[in-house]
A and B are shown apart, each in its own frame.
Chain A
Amino acid sequence: EPEVTQTPSHQVTQMGQEVILRCVPISNHLYFYWYRQILGQKVEFLVSFYNNEISEKSEIFDDQFSVERPDGSNFTLKIRSTKLEDSAMYFCASRMTGGSYGYTFGSGTRLTVV
């Protein structure tokens, strides 16, 4: 069964450093997303991406964050100048169509900012 692949599975970084979280969505999917889950809290929407541009972003997704689909297969989330409160599980998801259908999620990257 097709999978969404995320790397790395764990990342520890020092406060103020930049991190890039990588995702390889399912190959024929057209819609891409990043969500995050802080320990013990709800999953939160960060950004949706379609047709090589951001279609929606949350208030969390400020200038510290950016997304890219550099080569038609990878989908990256860059966090500049990380803060302690950025520590969370970051999930990439994709789906083939819009509408009401569910996502396929990756296994996540656990980011720890120290």
Chain B
Amino acid sequence: TQLLEQSPQFLSIQEGENLTVYCNSSSVFSSLQWYRQEPGEGPVLLVTVVTGGEVKKLKRLTFQFGDARKDSSLHITAAQPGDTGLYLCAAFNAGNNRKLIWGLGTSLAVNP
């Protein structure tokens, strides 16, 4: 069974701080995605990373895919209250792009 472990599970910080959340596995994935989910809503895709070592930036968010394609990180610079939400990583198995495996998520609260 392939698992995605996210850490930390909960994070509460002050506006303006930087943070990094992690998504780890012992399995190799063909690609990995980060989603953000707000209460009562569906996950919203932030980014897809495909190549080992890949770094993608989305404004203040920086996503990195591990060299071995087993792990990923999300770094937020100068967090804002609008960044509050549940950050989920999800990945396709190598060789199967029909179903996503999900982490449990990091619940981020950015306090003004």
Contacts and interface: CB of A to CB of B under 8 A. Distances in A.
Interface of A: 4, 6, 33, 35, 41-45, 48, 55-56, 58, 91, 93, 98-108, 110
Most buried by B among A6, A44, A102: A102
A42 B97 contact: no
A42 B92 CA distance: 15
A108 B43 CA distance: 9
Contacts of B41: 107-108
B40 A107 contact: yes
B45 interface: yes
B99 A102 contact: no
B92 to A, nearest CB: 6
Contact of B42 (A41, A48, A101, A105): A105
Contacts of B45: 102-105
Interface residues of B, number: 25
A42 B103 contact: yes
Contacts of A44: 102
Interface in B63-112: 88, 90, 92, 96-104
B7 interface: no
B53 to A, nearest CB: 16
Contacts of A35: 100
Contacts of B28: none
Nearest to A101: B48
Contact of A91 (B31, B42, B97, B98): B42
Contacts of A41: 104
A101 B104 CA distance: 20
A41 B33 CA distance: 18
B30 interface: yes
B11 interface: no
